[in-house]
Amino acid sequence: MTREGDNLEVAVIESNPTITQPLLSQLAAASFTPRDLAPNRALLESPGWSGPDVILVGLDDDRSQRLAFARRLHGTYPSAIILGYTANYTADALGEAMGAGARRVLRYPFEASALRQAVSDVRDELRAFAGPAPAAPQVQTRPVITGLSATPGYVSDKPNQLIAVFSPKGGVGCSTLAVNLALALQLLGHQTALVDGNISFGSLEVFLELQPVRSILQLVGDVEHMTSEAVLETLVPHPSGLQVLLAPLRPEEGDSIRGEHMQRVLSTLKQHFPFTLVDTWPSYDERVLAVLEIADIILVPIGPDLPAMKNLNSFLRVARLLNYDMDKIVPVLMRANSVPPGHLKDLEAFLKQELKWRVVSDGKRATAAANTGTPFVLSARDSQISQNIFDIARYLGGEYEAGEPASKAKQPASGRFWKR
Ligand SMILES: Nc1ncnc2c1ncn2[C@@H]1O[C@H](COP(=O)(O)OP(=O)(O)OP(=O)(O)O)[C@@H](O)[C@H]1O
Ligand SMILES: [Mg+2]
């Protein structure tokens, strides 16, 4: 049974004595019930112990060993929440912790209130999953995954979705949105694939700090004979469990990839993953149009300025000409808070549509994330920019359909945005 409020039992997995004692004392002073569970202690079978509420893992020494211990403990007491702490927020530490099932990573030293808040936030999130989330994974034929996803496989009765992120104008945040949204979906428990559809100048391996050991180039050839196995084997796993299909490393190699390859690859991924996201580049190139044609949803990030609105309008004209279902085109207003609200109203009046999906401006985090290879939904999950992305992920995952939480009033309740 989980305890609420005070007296939360916290199993601390730490073997550095200069950290263990002060941390245990700090927790006890703040009305937690701490338990020292250095990885070499065999305390699991204490008679009558119902297990901890929180498994708190120090990530700065012996990380793999401690996380393995945390996972074993979690296997015995699955209602416990795994949290990490580290003085060094590195991509490796975060990725490995998330891969072992940690729901949050705190920066050490931390206030007891930050720990309590993290527990409360995670419990809220888990309650949202409580209804429709049996543990069995939805993906039948899954590619090899080196890390575990942060939450158990989320089973939905919604059909699998192929989501393209496209902007007719460059530099507005397509890749930022695609990477962080794909990761947010994965962290929410939806097995997700991310494809670098920026065939000649893609750089998702940099955004996600992946080794570009394989790329879509390996799938070029006879489209008719491209097998599911070949497509799945070409994916590169991120420690979060997200599976990524990278673009060729050399721009000129992209020339051999045609629209029909893209369609075949994406259709295959869609059969296997609840969500497949595709980053694109700002062009009406045959390969981009092939992606947009078969996408179920086209997210269009736009800046809050008139030229961006004009570009969006011209894309909508093209989409009508190509006979796309206009309901699948969803604008996402980036840097939404960088202009006064009155200006946003003018933009909506110009478009004759409400701009419901919004992501705040946070150039510092967005740039740092791209430079370090740790997307902000991982490194700063509680920041406003990450929360905006998680909100979009929750809507896509169908989490808010039954009833819209008041705090999410700015976000749409269903997926219809553009009328013919
Ligand atoms: N919400 C945001 N607030 C502030 N800056 C952002 C935001 N989203 C993205 N950026 C920044 O905008 C720049 C462009 O982002 P990104 O590379 O994602 O765009 P893009 O549309 O994929 O560009 P390209 O056309 O070059 O592929 C980056 O410096 C990124 O850090
Ligand atoms: Mg890009």
Q: How far is the CA of 203 from the centre of ligand 2 (A)?
A: 8
193 forms beta bridges with: 243, 276
The stretches in the chain having pLDDT less than 70 are: 1-6, 39-47, 89, 91, 125-157, 400-420
> Whose alpha carbon is nearest atom 5 of ligand 1?
363
Every domain of the chain with CATH number 3.40.50.2300 lies at: 9-130
Between vectors from CA 395 to CA 162 and to CA 126, what angle results, nearest 5°? 115
Model pLDDT for residues 293-327, shown as the tens digit of each residue? 999 999 999 999 888 888 998 899 899 988 899 99
- The structural architecture, per CATH, of the domain 161-408 is 3-Layer(aba) Sandwich (3.40)
pLDDT of residue 43: 54
C-alpha of residue 156 to centroid of ligand 2, in Å: 30
Q: Please, are residues 14 and 38 in contact by the beta-carbon 8 Å criterion?
A: yes
Q: How far is residue 302's CA from residue 333's CA, in Å, rounded to a whole number?
A: 5
Closest C-alpha to ligand 1, atom 9:
173
Would you call the peptide bond into 109 cis, given omega within 30 degrees of 0 as the criterion?
yes
User: What pLDDT sits at residue 368?
Assistant: 93
What pLDDT is stored for residue 156 in this prediction? 56
The reported pLDDT for the residue numbered 91 is 66
Q: Contact at 8 Å (CB) between 308 and 169?
A: yes
Distance CA 417, CA 108 (A): 43
What integer pLDDT is reported at residue 105 of this predicted model? 80
CATH 3.40.50.300 domain range(s) in the chain: 161-408
Q: Which atom of ligand 1 is nearest to the CA of 198?
A: 27
State the pLDDT at residue 42. Answer: 55
pLDDT recorded at residue 7: 85
Contact (CB, 8 A) for 261 and 219: yes
pLDDT value of position 10:
94
Pick among 1.10.260.40, 3.40.50.2300, 3.40.30.10, 1.10.10.10: CATH of 9-130: 3.40.50.2300
Bridge partner list, 245: 195
> Ligand 1 pocket: which residues have CB below 6 Å?
167, 170-176, 198, 281-282, 334-335, 359, 361-363, 366-367, 370, 385
What tokens appear for 260 in the block? 């029909």
Q: How far apart are CA 333 and CA 300, in angstroms?
A: 8
pLDDT of residue 350: 84
Ligand 1 centroid, distance to 132 Cα (angstroms): 35
| Bridge pairing between strands 243-245 and 236-237 | antiparallel
- For the chain, the residue count is 420
Q: For residue 167, report the distance from its CA to the centre of ligand 1, in Å.
A: 11
For 79-123, write each residue's pLDDT tens digit.
Answer: 889 999 998 867 677 777 877 778 888 889 999 998 998 888 778
CA of 304 to the centre of ligand 1 (A): 14
Quote the pTM value: 0.66
Residues forming a β-bridge with 359 = 334
Contacts (Cβ under 8 Å, ≥6 apart) of 191: 137, 138, 139, 142, 149, 153, 241, 243, 273, 274, 275
Can you give the pLDDT at residue 79?
A: 85
Whole-number pLDDT of residue 220: 87
Could you tell which of 165, 176, 359 is best to mutate to test the pocket of ligand 1, judged by most ligand atoms within 8 Å of the CB? 176
Rounded to a whole number, what is the distance in angstroms from the first to the last CA of the chain?
53
DSSP state letters, 314-374: HHHHHHHHTT--GGGEEEEEETGGGS-HHHHHHHHHHHTS---EEE---HHHHHHHHHHT-
